Amino acid sequence: MTAAQAEREKLLESLDAAGAGSARAVIVLGSGLGPLAEEVEGARRLPYEGLAGMPESAVPGHAGRLVLGELSGVPVVLQQGRCHLYEGRTAEEVSRCVRCLVELGVGTVLLTNAAGGLHAEWPIPSLMRITDHINLQGVTPLDSSGRGYGTPYDPELGSLIDAAAEEAGVALRTGVYAALPGPTYETHAEVRMHGSFGADAVGMSTAQEALAAHAAGARVAAISCITNHAAGLSHIETNHEEVVEAGLKATEQFTGLIRALLTRLGAEEPS
């Protein structure tokens, strides 16, 4: 057994002992989107440092804990903060938690992130459902036996999100997410290149988790909070504080959308 496999086994045991596998959905909260965790009813908060095998993040805006409880009557586990490849983590480490939760029986994974928008006409902040991604991070959490074909994003779950957005009165865009290694923001030339590839937003997370969760058998969806215009589309220089602030501004719409989605999930027959 490799060191990574041993750490994964430790995390599986920690999450199982905490009862995390009984959740219907896991929601990974990106930069500035953490306030949703305050809405959880009957919340149990588990700091990452207390979970054996759980990689921790030092990025501002990521609280570093799991929150277990209910939202809109649905048992959930919220991952309030994630680690990133640019922190020196491997693809296995950044996707370890969601993969373990799926292996414990959590069937729905909703990933969220803060992203730079490639459309100057989109207001800041905006919400975008990811229909597919372009993995430019140079790594993958999958091996040759992984379920790596096609898009990891489930179209039926995507349709549920679209319907939830309409019900909640949330303007939800759709588009392709380009996943980059970070930690630097893009140059003007890189932004033009990503647009020519068909990307609508750029960020530094999500792709590894989506691939791993899909391979483990979950249905996966993802939402980007467009917190800034990518370099060259605005006179404002991109910085992390701006990203977090814009995420906080989107909290009300984001919370309304997630609650409406969970209500729909709760009406489904458990798989």
Residues, the chain: 271
221 is a catalytic site residue:
no
- Indicate which residue of 87, 167, 242, 245 is catalytic: 87
Q: What angle do CA 205, 33, 91 make, to 5 degrees?
A: 20
**CA–centroid distance for 267 within its chain:** 23
> Is 114 assigned a catalytic role?
yes
57 is catalytic: no
Distance between CA 224 and CA 130 in Å, rounded?
A: 7
Q: Name the active-site residue from 190, 205, 207, 222.
A: 205
How far apart are the C-alpha atoms of 208 and 137, rounded to whole Å? 9
In the set 84, 133, 194, 229, the catalytic residue is: 84
Whether 62 is catalytic is yes
Distance CA 58, CA 115 (A): 19
Q: Which residue of the set 228, 229, 246, 250 is catalytic?
A: 228
**Is residue 204 flagged as an active site residue?**
yes
Q: Which of 167, 240, 242, 245 is catalytic?
A: 240
> Pick from 99, 107, 111, 112: which is nearest to 15 by CA?
99
Instruction: Give 44's strand partners.
Output: 68
Identified catalytic residue from 13, 18, 57, 86: 86
What DSSP state is assigned to residue 186? Answer: P
Catalytic residue check, 240: yes
User: Among 114, 213, 231, 250, which one carries the catalytic annotation?
Assistant: 114
For this structure, is 48 an active site residue? no
Tokens read off for 13: 């045991």
Which one of the listed residues 31, 95, 113, 126 is annotated catalytic? 31
Phi, psi of 59 (to 5 degrees): -75, 130
For the chain, the distance separating the N- and C-terminal CA atoms, rounded to the nearest angstrom, is 32
Q: Is 86 a catalytic residue?
A: yes
62, 194, 214, 229: which one is catalytic?
62
Point out the catalytic residue in the list 63, 178, 179, 204: 204
Active site residue ranges = 31, 62, 84, 86-87, 114, 204-205, 228, 240
